[in-house]
Structure 1
Amino acid sequence: MANDDHQAFLIRGYRRSDREAVRKLCCDTGFLGDPIDPVYEDRELFADFLTTYYTDHEPESCFLLEVDGEIRGYLLGSRKPLRNQLYALYQNVWLFFRALTRYFRYNARSRRFIRWLLVHGWREVPAAPRRTPHFHVNLLPDARKVSTTRALMSAYLSYLYRSGEKRVYGQIITFESRRGEKMFERYGFKVLNRAEMRVRE
């Protein structure tokens, strides 16, 4: 396929050998599309929280964007919401204790981010539809194009259709000039809930 700048790209399924590249991309785009480092310094825990379930327990639902042989974006999805939620219960407890053991070694911004997560973060995320597949998309700045996003979405939606799924949801964070819900309305998505997030750099 060619993207908006006529540069060839490839959408493909996730492979086990992609794990570290996906984790790095997650951290490189983890704060409103920018690197997470100014907000939270622990890339290992951040990537564990956002990617481990998908890459390790439901890799068949993950799709990657490759440009010139390099991973520039991903869509991590789940068709098994109950399994995902059960894993999240276990994972959240495990990650909490891991973060607790590191807390006093973190810098002030990282400690502030942990406090925000514990006090506000869970309340500022809109409620998700129950028993419904979902997805999470991240692209590096040079790969954020209508064509690449559309290709990732089409690959995932086709996969869901072939698997007999009839609904899917995604949670997106929009701000200022970043493309928001209009992009997803093209695929038939509707806004079910909104919440304001007040995390600051």
Structure 2
Amino acid sequence: MTAIRAYRPSDRDAVDEICVRTGASGKDATGLYSDDSLLPDIFADPYLTYQPDLAYVVDTGDHVAGYIIGVADTVAFADWYKREWLPGFTKRHPLEAAATDDEREMIRYGLSYGSRLVPELGEYPAHLHIDLLPELQGQGFGRALIRRLLAELEARGVPAVHLGVSGSNKSARAFYDRLGFHELPSSSPEGPSLGIATSAVV
């Protein structure tokens, strides 16, 4: 029976695979970069290392096919990322070894990732990432994952959460709009930034 449950350390490989298979604006990014670990090394593994208690997965009974991950305090996470995660990331993904301009741009993003803070952090201190394989999409699991994380953040006294979404990922943007996410003042068409109160009913 497919169900949402708390993340376990044994789920990390599955989360990394999902991150890659949804990493090209929601489509499969396998082989897009010379090292498939690049995307999860930016968008998944730091979160699972820093705050695994804010990670939830969708378990089909056979495999994990979706996840939501987040941090309650983005400023603290960014400080940790620069101090603890970045040295290893730099060694694993040397900029000079990038095979393409796109790969070089993604590595640069990873190098500056902990410093990319939206101006609205005072009001929206938490942030999240969510990804579902196609087999789960359109069945309500995305909404349920968002609801689960919002409830946990609210219980911890966190007032609101933000996220970034690719400007080209129209289906993801429509999903967030349906749940009640709204654009933050700093949002741009190229890099939309969305937010929602943790007390919101989604």
Fold conserved (TM > 0.5)?
A: yes
Q: Are 1:99 and 2:93 matched, yes or no?
A: yes
Change (3 A) 1:119 1:80: closer
Q: Shift in Å at residue 11 of structure 1?
A: 0.9
Q: 2:105 aligns with which of 116, 120, 138?
A: 116
Asked if structure 2 preserves the Cα contact closer than 8 Å seen for 1:126 and 1:195, the reply is no
CA distance in 2, matches of 1:45, 1:158: 31
Q: TM-score, normalised by structure 1?
A: 0.77
CA distance in 2, matches of 1:99, 1:70: 29
CA distance in 1, matches of 2:169, 2:135: 19
Q: TM-score, normalised by structure 2?
A: 0.77
Asked if structure 2 preserves the Cα contact closer than 8 Å seen for 1:126 and 1:194, the reply is no
Q: State the match for 2:195 in structure 1.
A: none
Identity of aligned residues (%): 23
Q: In angstroms, what is the RMSD of aligned CA positions?
A: 2.8
CA distance in 1, matches of 2:43, 2:106: 14
| Matched residue type, 1:117 | M
Q: Shift in Å at residue 88 of structure 1?
A: 2.4
Change (3 A) 1:187 1:165: farther
Q: Shift in Å at residue 73 of structure 1?
A: 0.6
**Unmatched 5+ residue regions in structure 1?**
1-7
Kindly indicate which of the two structures has a greater share of residues assigned to strand.
2
Q: State the match for 2:166 in structure 1.
A: 173
* Worse-matched range after superposition: 22-31 or 42-51: 42-51
CA distance in 2, matches of 1:24, 1:85: 24
Change (3 A) 1:176 1:57: closer
**Structure with bigger gyration radius:** 1
Cα displacement string for residues 132-191 of structure 1 (whole angstroms, at most 9, x for unaligned residues): 1010011111111151111111111111111111111111225375242x4324443211
